[in-house]
Amino acid sequence: MNKLTVRDIEVGGRRVLVRVDFNVPLSTTTGGITDDSRIQAAMPTIDYLISEGARVILCSHLGRPGGRVVEGMRLGGVARRLSELLRQEVIYAPDSIGAEVEEMATGIKAGEVMLLENLRFHAGEEENSPAYAAALARLADVYVDDAFATAHRSHASIVGVPNHLPAVAGLLLKKELNSLGRILEDPAQPFGVLLGGAKTSDKAAMLYNIMDKVNCVLIGGGMAATFLKASGYAVGLSQVKDDPKVPSELIAKAARNGVQLMLPDDVLVAAEDGTGVENVAAATIPADKKIVDIGWQAITGFTRVLERCRTVFWNGPMGIYEIDKYAEGTKAMARLIAGLNATTIIGGGSTAEIVIELKLADKMSFVSTGGGASLRFLSGEGLPGVDVILEKTPTGVNNE
């Protein structure tokens, strides 16, 4: 990664605005944090800044409040959890910008940490308002982006603030780019990609970009219906929303590149009301049922192929994971990948949530914090949040 990081600049005594991803899941009943892994992921950067005597100002979004204050999306609970992890009180600002917040930012001391209120309470955040970006920038002397999960967004706190402050990468962002970059540069062979989830279009650009690097692509989830239909199979009530040209082109490209593109031999199907669950061959899907998971033969076949791989990238569940009786295919793949003697990369989003829920994250080589960002990065497209970070010069110092 040819970008300056927080370790490349002087931060002692300086006000450092850090864009983190504290968009944590909350309990629908208590409102409490149900998984703090995104907070934990930012700890190396925060700990480093504290140890160097920086005056740390953290900013994040939470949910989709739509540019207005939503009480259930305040970051007070995050501030309390962060205080526990840091074993010091985190100053919790009542807003993300404004005279009061600027005064608080000026007053924080070396080694102290302040957390701004939800950025998306202001419409200017998602609109990339120059005025909002300038107001955020007034709080600090230096900007650090440590939120890979939002690096594909052109929001004020991501691409606007670097117009006013020198911008460097945090330690998590660096780790993300290096780990995913190895897939593009020099993956250990054989290299297998396991894809699921609903939409093929979300992953098509990535597949086009890495097709000359992979040995096999295995398709499950809603994507399986799309590819099965493109291959001439009837898929019953399974919804196929993608342009049929996309899977057909990917199938043709895989064949040209000598890549094994594997679809499930059998699938679990059910009626719309959840009744009549049965395991059927992919060639005999009933007209009145839809695919809800991969089948037992598919699990066995996928296992045999992935066991031979030395690099595995996984993004997307194999079925409707939220419903327990349709989750076995996903769970089986998670357990399998966790036990492989290979470099195993989990592509963020719901896939990361699944391996964390199953307590398998520490068995993987790397679990990305960004679903959309990781797919865009692997597609070869630039990430707006990374593009604005200062480049390293041959001496390792950038004087901009």
CA distance 173 to 146: 5
Q: What distance, in Å, lies between the first and last C-alpha atoms of the chain?
A: 19
Higher pLDDT, 59 or 242: 59
CA distance 334 to 357: 11
Helix ranges (DSSP H) in 30-109: 37-51, 76-86, 99-107
User: Residue for token digits 């199953």?
Assistant: 358
Distinct helix (H) and strand (E) counts, the chain: 14, 15
Mean pLDDT of the chain: 93
pLDDT of amino acid 162? 97
Say which residues have a Cβ less than 8 Å from residue 88's Cβ, sequence separation at least 6: 112, 113
Helix (H, G, I), strand (E, B) or coil at 308: coil
Query: Which two structure tokens, joined as six digits, stand for 206?
Result: 């990535």
Burial level of 110, CB count in 10 A (0-12/13-18/19+)? middle
pLDDT of amino acid 399? 41
pLDDT tens digits along 269-278:
999 999 999 9
22: pLDDT strictly greater than 90: yes
Catalytic sites, residue numbers: 38, 199, 349, 372
Residues 214-233 have a mean pLDDT of 94
Residues 30-35 have a mean pLDDT of 87
pLDDT tens digits along 140-154:
999 999 999 999 999
Residues 337-350 have a mean pLDDT of 92
382: pLDDT strictly greater than 90: no
Using the 8-state DSSP alphabet, how is residue 354 labeled?
H
Percentage with pLDDT > 70 across the chain: 98
With beta carbons less than 8 A apart as the criterion, state whether 329 and 268 touch: yes
Q: Which of the residue ranges 21-25, 118-122, 241-245 has the most confident prediction, judged by mean pLDDT? A: 118-122
List the domains of the chain with CATH numbers.
6-174 (3.40.50.1260), 187-378 (3.40.50.1260)
Largest CA-CA distance found in the chain, in angstroms, rounded: 69
Percentage with pLDDT > 90 across the chain: 83
Say which residues have a Cβ less than 8 Å from residue 233's Cβ, sequence separation at least 6: 282, 283, 285
pLDDT tens digits along 310-339:
999 999 999 999 999 999 999 999 999 999
Helix (H, G, I), strand (E, B) or coil at 18: strand
pLDDT of amino acid 186? 87
CA distance 171 to 57: 16
Closest CA to 311 of 340, 347, 352, 354: 340
pLDDT of amino acid 394? 60
75: pLDDT strictly greater than 60: yes
Q: How much is the pTM?
A: 0.88
With beta carbons less than 8 A apart as the criterion, state whether 238 and 264 touch: no
pLDDT of amino acid 160? 98
pLDDT of amino acid 400? 42
